[in-house]
Chains A and B, each alone.
Chain A
Amino acid sequence: DAKTTQPPSMDCAEGRAANLPCNHSTISGNEYVYWYRQIHSQGPQYIIHGLKNNETNEMASLIITEDRKSSTLILPHATLRDTAVYYCIVSYRGKLIFGQGTELSVKP
């Protein structure tokens, strides 16, 4: 079973920041938090991952709470091409169990 909880859907205005939350209250000490997204009819795409510290790359930022029980993926300037299903996954050694994810709709 997936060990994360995400809202089923969210809207975001184009050009604004998209903040996608994820709860993972049962995360264990050696599990990473991963974020993927899937654009319709394509395979999932890796976005970012983290263990304890906040992370940033060219695609997004990942904010992990100090107790590691929740995290937020931030797309700083959402575009229409960011419309996708976003999955938050906790994993040790790379085994990925997907939940239902959040369907993000970026609107003009």
Chain B
Amino acid sequence: DVKVTQSSRYLVKRTGEKVFLECVQDMDHENMFWYRQDPGLGLRLIYFSYDVKMKEKGDIPEGYSVSREKKERFSLILESASTNQTSMYLCASSSPLGWGAFFGQGTRLTVV
């Protein structure tokens, strides 16, 4: 089975902290994505990557950066966490050949 693994299921951080959310996939997928999901706003794309060291901004990149040094790993970085970044964060990976994406179980981040 395809596995997309996010490093933490729950995370609590303080305002101003630098936060790393890690995602690893085992299907050799080229594409990887980070989304956040909030009640009433649905799933919103933060960043995506089509290949190692390549990244493109999604709909809401402000306050976030990403890193993809290896094909299997895609990291989301909150440079200085703020309370409005409290959310559920979801990572996904897919092949560009048209097949569906596979999602991790999510990281529920609370910034206090």
Chain A residues with CB under 8 Å of chain B are: 32, 34, 36, 42-49, 51, 87, 93-101
Q: Are B42 and A96 in contact (CB under 8 A)?
A: no
Which 9 pairs of residues, A with B, have the shortest CB-CB distance?
A46-B100, A43-B103, A98-B43, A94-B94, A93-B96, A94-B31, A44-B103, A94-B96, A32-B98
CA distance A101 to B40 in the complex (A): 11
Main DSSP-derived SS at the A contact region? loop
Q: Are A49 and B42 in contact (CB under 8 A)?
A: no
**What's the interface size class on B, roughly?**
20 to 34
Chain B residues with CB under 8 Å of chain A are: 4, 31, 33, 35, 42-45, 48, 50, 59, 90, 92, 94-96, 98-106
Q: Which residue of A lies closest to B48 (CB)?
A: A95
Main DSSP-derived SS at the B contact region? strand
Chain B residue numbers with a CB within 8 Å of A44 are 43, 90, 92, 101, 103
Q: Are B45 and A96 in contact (CB under 8 A)?
A: yes
CA distance A51 to B44 in the complex (A): 24
Q: Are B95 and A43 in contact (CB under 8 A)?
A: no
Q: Which residue of B lies closest to A32 (CB)?
A: B98
CA distance A48 to B100 in the complex (A): 7
